[in-house]
Copies of this chain bind each other. A is one copy, B any other.
């Protein structure tokens, strides 16, 4: 058996998220179908970051094991068969047993906001239009509280199959480039909706509807209803996944 590592990007607008679901258009289903057509073998993908409906990926990583021979131009051929809203940027045979999910050391997500009074035709579906006042100091103060191990129960839906609610955030910060204000966060792993609820709750602190001390208290575990709204999916991107290079 050979392990194959796939790097890909996708525009999440046209997908009901990553994971295969009967009758729904998902990234996994489209990608497996294209790979199976090229390899003439069943393909079962494992993924580093399971994205939800509407969430984008800039550098997602998936893997599968196969007995098929891997053509050198697998990426090009699968791209030719697959839809235009997914692009495989690399497809390479790697050491046997590589698993994109299990071997990932951390995931990085970015949430993008367009902070100007008018929306932009070039940012439709690519960022959250946020023509409101932004308190950058409040946002930065929130982000500084994030690194470390916290109980994120308040930041994921009540109906969940998660068993443990602690996650370790490695880095978190806001940055501005032109009219785009971004929140970037790296963690060992994320729970469902976690980045979007973090963003929604920090925007409450920015607008004065929430306080920094209330935000800090939420990181020690609280009910979902105590945190802010879930920011919409079209501003969120899985940016990258880190692996041990050795």
Contact = CB atoms under 8 A, between A and B. Distances in A.
Nearest to A13: B121
B121 A85 contact: yes
Nearest to A122: B11
Interface in A39-68: 56
A121 B9 contact: yes
Interface of A is mostly: mixed
A211 interface: no
A139 to B, nearest CB: 24
Interface string A112-127: 0000111111101010
B118 A87 contact: yes
Interface string A19-57: 000000000000000000000000000000000000010
A10 B56 CA distance: 23
A86 interface: yes
A136 interface: no
A84 B120 CA distance: 8
19 contacts: A9-B120, A9-B121, A9-B122, A11-B122, A56-B122, A75-B117, A79-B118, A84-B119, A84-B121, A84-B124, A85-B121, A86-B121, A87-B118, A87-B119, A87-B120, A87-B121, A88-B118, A89-B116, A122-B126
Given A76-B118, A79-B118, A85-B121, 4 more contacts: A76-B117, A84-B121, A84-B124, A87-B120
Interface of A: 9-11, 56, 75-76, 79, 84-89, 116-122, 124, 126
